[in-house]
Amino acid sequence: MPKKADLLAAAAGLIRRKGFLTVTHDELAAAAGVTPAALAKHFPEKDAVLAALYAAFHAAAFAPPADPVLLPDRFRKAAKKHAAAFAAVVEVLATGADVPAVTNGLGESTAAVAESIRAAQAAGRARRGLDAEAAARDWLRYLFGAELLKDADPPAADLLLRGLLKTDI
């Protein structure tokens, strides 16, 4: 039985090629060279795969809380290193699909960014009175949009930004 990390690596490659919403649990298993039942022991559904991929992205981008000034650079590096998770989140946000792994992951990321902002406020490096939660949601919208725009993919960026504006991250 392959290790969990090997299963995730195979899944990430397939998700990157086909997209998260179109890939099936059976296809993820085949890409990893295991049976669907074997994959289900670690990941009972494809949403669990995305949750694990997003957790690695989140850890690289946001945890432990960093100075908000460092967040854009950390985010860009994490988006590059964890391209499948980033692409899947973008796909889900752009289409408005209801995927709990994305909703929960973005909630954790929003909380981490808000914590960073509050720490900066306490240290006198961020404006007091700023609503940290609202600012965190704005930061995430900006970070996702800027990362996508840097690759000069205007149609995808437009879809993403429309999705982000409708999503309460």
Q: What digits encode the pLDDT tens for the residues 35-56?
A: 999 999 999 999 999 999 999 9
Q: What digits encode the pLDDT tens for the residues 78-102?
A: 888 998 998 888 888 777 788 899 8
Q: What digits encode the pLDDT tens for the residues 10-30?
A: 999 999 899 999 999 999 999
pTM above 0.85, yes or no: no
pLDDT over threshold 70, residue 150: no
13: tokens are 């490659």
4: tokens are 């969990």
Query: Is 1.10.150.20 the CATH classification of the domain at 4-45?
Result: no
pLDDT over threshold 90, residue 1: no
**Alpha-carbon span 10 to 84, nearest angstrom:** 10
Residues 6+ away with beta carbon under 8 Å from 31: 10, 11, 13, 14
pLDDT over threshold 90, residue 64: no
| Low-confidence winner among 48-52, 120-124, 146-150 (lowest mean pLDDT) | 146-150
Residues 6+ away with beta carbon under 8 Å from 32: 2, 6, 7, 10, 11, 39
